[in-house]
Amino acid sequence: MARDMSDKEILKMELEQLKKEVSTPRTAVSANCADTIAYVEGLLPSDPLIKGVPDDKNPYKGDKGGCTVT
């Protein structure tokens, strides 16, 4: 895409992106940490990486057949 654009067009796109980034409201990391922790802890009961997947719903668990080389 950038190959089809002139230097002026690329600079204009970069300027528009920078304007968007500058206008984005900023918050302190410490303010966001509490929200992030609460969100993650709220999802813990249903998180398959923490809880695990029941064997009957796990598509990768099943008969471990052998490999046949012919």
- 26-30, Cβ contacts within 8 angstroms, sequence gap of 24 or more: none
Q: Is 38 helix (H, G, I), strand (E, B) or coil?
A: helix
Q: Distance between CA 19 and CA 29 in Å, rounded?
A: 22
pLDDT of res. 7: 92
Number of domains in the chain: 1
Residue 38 reports pLDDT greater than 90: yes
From first CA to last CA, the distance across the chain in angstroms is: 49
Range of the domain at 43: 24-51
Q: Which residues of 1-70 form beta strands (DSSP E)?
A: none
Residue 47 lies in a domain: yes
pLDDT of res. 3: 74
- How many CA atoms, within 13 angstroms, populate the side-chain half-sphere of residue 65? 4
Reported as a single tens digit per residue, the pLDDT across 8-33 is: 999 999 999 999 999 999 988 988 99
Q: What is the pTM of this model?
A: 0.43
Residue 62 lies in a domain: no
